[in-house]
């Protein structure tokens, strides 16, 4: 029988005191809600095919992740990071990781260039989000969001919120890196869910998981230096760390996002307005029309200064006054 490749994230099955050694980090579970993440000096590329150990890499990635997560937390993005234990180790929230990588691209590079036959370095009109299955065995295939939801890899809500956070993280990081003379070409994010179902940005955010070019050039300050043998990778990471340290007080302009609140009559509730629309359209010749139902959209534009707090307003049922819960349903759609 053919072996079914697994898309289980290995850390999702760890019990207390158990350890998982991945390609770049070691995870040790402390209890139901806490784990330790130790950043290693190991570097891998092409699904672990190319390997090296570079002294100081773990330290640099831990520091860079810490700076970027602290910056994002300040902007209201929830991250798994709790505290730094030592130079290469963090305590973080133990999460059920989604087996999906969220990749945002601002310029064409890497697999995007290969997949679509593009030239490298094309600025995309709008940032692009791509989802990949987190599986070395399957070589991290691209997956359509509807398929990821259908196969149960992520729920619709996890996808919608992950998408919103990913675009907002991009807006915040673009500004920060621009401030230190680097262009954020693309990056990968991972998310996990805690015991209460809350979504957090997890894993790491470092030059291992993003592409950074010196502004106006294609000179890499990320893992491409190692992937493509373009010089001393540690020097590139040190450069990023050094300049990020200098930008600790950087204040970004907050991006805006929209929430569309779709309000519909529940199934089975008689819709008088819908009946009028149906009659009118049928009279116009749309005899194939089976049913018309009329709802309402409330469009909200929100300044992303405290995203978590903004979203809490909607998740705690306090917006029920906007609908009549006896006869109406509401659905939230994010738009960045």
Residues that bind ligand ADP (CB under 6 A): 9-11, 22-25, 27, 35, 80, 92-95, 97, 190, 192, 202-203
Secondary structure class of 307 (helix, strand, coil): helix
CA–CA gap between residue 103 and residue 95 (Å, rounded):
20
For residue 308, what is the enclosing H or E element?
helix 307-315
In angstroms, how far is the first alpha carbon of the chain from the final one?
A: 45
Identity of the residue, 244 or 259, whose beta carbon is nearer to ligand TMP in the bound complex: 244
CB atoms within 10 A of CB 136: 14
Contact 102, 154 (CB under 8 A): no
Identity of the residue, 169 or 210, whose beta carbon is nearer to ligand TMP in the bound complex: 210
CB under 5 to 8 A by kind: which of ligand TMP, ligand ADP, ligand ASP, none does 186 bind? ligand TMP
Write the binding mask 38 to 57 for ligand ASP: x where contact by CB under 6 A, - elsewhere: ------xxxxx---------
Nearest-approach distance from CB 12 to ligand ADP, in angstroms: 7
Q: If binding means CB under 6 A, how many residues of this protein chain bind ligand ASP?
A: 8
Nearest-approach distance from CB 5 to ligand ASP, in angstroms: 16
Is residue 21 a contact residue for ligand ASP (CB under 6 A)?
no
Per CB under 6 A, residues contacting ligand TMP are 103, 109-112, 140, 186-188, 209-211
Nearest to 66 by CA among 250, 234, 206, 209: 206
CB atoms within 10 A of CB 84: 14
Nearest-approach distance from CB 45 to ligand TMP, in angstroms: 9
Buried b / exposed e along 110-129 (16+ C-beta atoms within 10 A): eebeeeeeeeeeeeeeebeb
CA 244 to chain centre: 21
Identity of the residue, 134 or 264, whose beta carbon is nearer to ligand ASP in the bound complex: 134
Identity of the residue, 42 or 160, whose beta carbon is nearer to ligand ASP in the bound complex: 42
Which residue of this chain has its Cβ atom nearest to ligand ADP in the complex? 22
Nearest-approach distance from CB 104 to ligand ADP, in angstroms: 18
Which of 7, 14, 22, 23: binder of ligand ASP (CB under 6 A)? Answer: 23
Contact 288, 278 (CB under 8 A): no
Interface contacts to ligand ASP, rule CB under 6 A? 23, 44-48, 223, 227
């Amino acid at each position: 029988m053919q072996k079914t490749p697994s898309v289980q994230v290995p850390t999702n099955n760890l019990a207390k005191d158990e350890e998982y050694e991945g390609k770049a980090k070691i995870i040790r579970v402390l209890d139901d809600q806490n784990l330790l993440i130790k950043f290693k000096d190991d570097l891998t590329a092409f699904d672990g095919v190319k390997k090296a150990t570079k002294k100081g890499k773990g330290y640099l990635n831990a520091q860079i992740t810490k700076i970027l997560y602290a910056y994002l937390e300040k902007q209201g993005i929830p991250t798994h990071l709790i505290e730094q234990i030592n130079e290469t180790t963090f305590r973080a929230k133990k999460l059920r990781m989604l087996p999906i990588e969220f990749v945002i691209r601002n310029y064409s590079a890497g697999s995007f260039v290969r997949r679509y036959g593009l030239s490298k370095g094309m600025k995309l009109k709008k940032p692009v989000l791509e989802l990949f299955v987190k599986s070395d065995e399957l070589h991290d295939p691209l997956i359509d969001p509807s398929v990821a939801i259908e196969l149960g890899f992520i729920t619709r809500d996890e996808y919608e919120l992950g998408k919103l956070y990913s675009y907002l993280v991009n807006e915040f990081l673009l500004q920060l890196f621009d401030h230190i003379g680097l262009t954020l070409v693309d990056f990968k994010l991972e998310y996990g869910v805690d015991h209460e179902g809350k979504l957090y940005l997890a894993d790491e955010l470092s030059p291992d998981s993003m592409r950074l070019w010196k502004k106006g050039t294609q000179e890499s300050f990320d893992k491409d230096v190692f992937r493509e043998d373009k010089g001393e990778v540690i020097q590139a990471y040190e450069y990023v760390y050094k300049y990020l340290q200098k930008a600790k007080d950087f204040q970004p302009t907050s991006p805006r996002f929209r929430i569309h609140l779709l309000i519909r009559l529940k199934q089975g509730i008689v819709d008088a307005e819908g009946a009028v629309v149906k009659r009118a359209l049928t009279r116009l010749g749309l005899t194939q029309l089976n049913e018309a139902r009329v709802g309402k959209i409330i469009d909200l534009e929100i300044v992303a200064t405290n995203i978590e707090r903004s979203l809490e307003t909607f998740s705690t049922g306090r917006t029920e006054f906007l609908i009549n819960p006896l006869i109406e349903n509401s659905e939230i759609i994010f738009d960045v």
